[in-house]
Structure 1
Amino acid sequence: MSAIRKIRRLLTLLERLQSGRAYSTSELTHLCGVSRRTVFRDLKTLQDAGVQILYDAATQGYWLPIHTALPPAQLTLSETLSLLVLAQEAGGSRRAVPFQEAARDAALKLQSTLPSHLTHYVNDLTSSLKIQSEPLADHRHGREHYDRLIEGITSRRKVRLHYDSVAEQTQIQTLVSPYRLLFRRHAWYAIGRSSLHRSVRTFHIGRILESEVTDDPFQVPPRFSLKRYFGHAWSLIREPDARCEVTVRFQPMVARNVAEVCWHPTQKTLWNDDGTLDFTVTVDGIQEMSWWILSYGNQALVLKPEPLRKLIAERAREMAAQY
Structure 2
Amino acid sequence: MKHYEPPKKDLWSGRISNKWLYLHEKVHCTPLNEMPEAQKKSIVLLGYACDAGVHRNQGRVGAVDGPDVIKSSFGKMPNHLASHVLLHDAGSITCANSDMEASQSQLAEAVCTLLHKKQFPIVLGGGHDMAYGHYCGIKQYLDAKKQGQSIGIINFDAHFDLRKKTDQGNSGTPFYQIAKECRQEGIDFNYLCLGIRRDANDRNLFQTAKDLDVIYVMSETFQPAFLQEITTFINAFAKNVDHIYVTIDLDGFSSAFAPGVSAPSPMGFTPHIVLECLKTIIASGKLISLDIAEMNPRFDIDGQTAKLAASLVHYVAHAVSGS
TM-score, normalised relative to structure 2: 0.23
Which structure ranks higher in relative contact order (CA pairs < 8 Å, sequence separation ≥ 6)?
A: 2
Larger-Rg structure = 1
Answer 1 or 2: which has greater strand percent.
1
